[in-house]
Amino acid sequence: MPSNPVRRKILGFISEQASPWVVALTALVLGAVLTIILALANYELYKRQLIQRFGLLANEHFSRIQERLDGQAYRLDSLRRFFVFSDQISRAEFNGFAAPLLTGTQAYSWAPRVVESEREPFERQAVTEGLNGFSVRELDAAGGLQKAAQRAEYFPVLFTQSRSTLPLPLGFDIASEQVRHQALERGRQLGTMVATPRLHLVGLEPINATGILLLSPVLVGDARFSARAEDVTGFVMAVISLSALMTDGLPTQENLAVTLRDLAAPDPSEPLYQSPTAAAESDLRVSTLLTLADRNYLLEIRPTAIFLNSNPSQRVNVILLGGLLSVMLSALLYSLVGQRQRALRLVDQRTSELRQREQQLRGTHGQLRNVLNAATEVAIIATDLNGVISTFNVGAQKMLGYTHDEVVGRFTLRDLQVTAELEAHAQRLSVGYGTQVSAGEALFVEASQESIHQSREWTFVRRDSSTLSVNMLVTAVRDEQGQWVGYLAVCIDITERKRVEEELRRLAVTDSLTGAFNRRYFQERFAVELGRVQGNGGELSVIMLDVDHFKRINDQLGHAMGDWALQAISQRISLRLRSNDVFCRLGGEEFMVLCPGTDAVQAYQLALDLWRELRSQPVDGVGVITASFGVAGWREGEGDDALLLRVDSRVYAAKQAGRDRVEPDLL
């Protein structure tokens, strides 16, 4: 009896006897069910993504605002230190120091403490300095300024640097108004920076007139927590507009509704600031606690209608697309089943043609070998299953210096590579696969897997024992029956490319003028070393030097001699440093030495050596160059900003003491 032939199936599971209409209808129903499932899943994903996007925007807003608050406190504290470390400050010096600090701040002011017996001499002195009509003043009932009544002490505004175009409120006694007076007393008792509640700011335009006042006491000798009134020489103040603080320069103003509440206010539920865009009806809401000086604020963020409308759900699109795909799939299956017989005939015809072409390909084998040899810039190496080389084209001969006869049948691919590199790769593969992989197998394990065909960088050894870097791709070679018969390696010389990459990496961390490391490299190494001592303990110090009168060199001798002077300084300093010290140019005439494992005393001795070396002999064409050095050692619990601020203050102290000296760390 004739045997029944095995019937083929369309797509592996549809019988060729099935009705095209039944197949199409079944596909349409399944597509509709799958579309509904996908629409539900898409809606759940949309809700998660909406929460994630809102969280990202809100967190960015939180960090930006806290960063601004921290910046306000940091800049005001720097102004306070300016007064602490200076014996006497003129109006021009105050304006010169405060003007660059006006970032997100409406004004900076200085209000000295004046007792009643000193009031008239103080007013006469201010008039003598050019403030015509100056007097100690206070607010009247209409909000204007009038001559202040007699009190035991005053804190009149003497210096002020403002962004406002309105007249400056010079002479305004900040202790004359109750809210400001309470803040002064709190700052005096605590000896630290304090902030006022929301109040009407004097001397600003109406759009910026609502805000807070940040005050920091300037104490005699910086005597913190002093209980004596006479220890307070005055207050430095930052005038902060809430409108500018919460809106200027911040993104996504229309997407988020922001509310800021002062938790120390008598009624914390009353907003300190409310954004003009109303919040939408949504369960999305995040809040965080912010800190400025001695006050805590609750910042709450909710999405607006604009945010929700810009992130719509795609459920309708998924349903429409799913329905369209279901119809298309039904039509496609109907067409496939209907043309089954035609497809089978076409397959038989193509099979016959492929057999004929197979014979033609056998005849072109010799031509292919000639093509391989013509590829003189690419090394093409074929091996058998044991790795013994069977093909070594002209490109490989040119790249490695071996002839065809020296290699074929005698060398394995492993013989051309660095052994240590192969063994290290084999060790990684052994860990990854959980079984021992030898160095000889390391090249071919991944090539035998269908899903892994990645090129790798290897080091090859030439005939003259020199090395070169290559990018090599190894693939398995199969015969007509699909059996592995060997491997094919294609190699490209990348030695020059790696040299260029290494040079670019060097330039990225090096100052082009002096050859020292640049600011970017210093910041990276400083963060690493600071993290090391913070986590494991140890010592870490920094030395900062600023070339004295460098502007005079540029102005009198020209920038070319200035560059030559910086190069000479860098060379002398580098020769005196230890192997583990990191010498960097921060910019201009400022340099920094990072000293890992070195305490402040040792760093001071090193700074003295550098100072002596720098001034030991003149620089050709320039003369003797001096610099002001500052030294600071890391203290437990100290962050990067604090350490850098201390070393900067030591350099400033050296400058103030007459330059050309080393100022040690204050213990």
> Annotated active-site positions, please?
589
Q: Look up residue 386 and give its two tokens.
A: 């044991």
DSSP 3-state assignment of 494?
Answer: coil
Beta strand 107-112 with 114-115 is unpaired
| Residues in contact with 7: Cβ distance below 8 Å, sequence separation at least 6, in sequence order | 15, 16, 17
What CA–CA distance (Å, rounded) separates 338 from 342? 9
Q: What is the DSSP letter of 635?
A: -
List, in sequence order, every beta strand (DSSP E) within 310-423: 379-383, 389-392
- Residue 369: both structure tokens together: 């070998």
Query: How far is 280 from 197, CA to CA, in rounded Å?
Result: 29
Angle at which helices 91-98 and 20-84 pack, to 10 degrees?
170
Residues 6+ apart with CB under 8 A from 112: 122, 155, 156, 158, 233, 234
Distance in angstroms (rounded) separating the CA atoms of residues 63 and 91 = 35
CA 176 to chain centre: 47
Whole-angstrom distance, CA of residue 424 vs CA of residue 427: 5
CA dist 238 and 194 (Å) reads 11
Look at residues 608, 623, 589 and name the one whose alpha carbon lies nearest to residue 661.
608
Q: Beta-carbon neighbour count of residue 588 at 10 Å?
A: 12
d(CA 381, CA 485): 14
In sequence order, what are the residues at sequence separation of 6 or more whose Cβ sits closer than 8 angstroms to the Cβ of residue 54?
A: 284, 286, 303, 307
Q: Which amino acid is at 72?
A: Q
Q: Whole-angstrom Cα distance, residue 595 to residue 607? A: 11
Residue 194, CB-side half-sphere exposure with 13 Å CA sphere? 20
Task: Tell me how far apart the alpha carbons of residues 197 and 265 are, in angstroms, rounded to a whole number.
Answer: 7
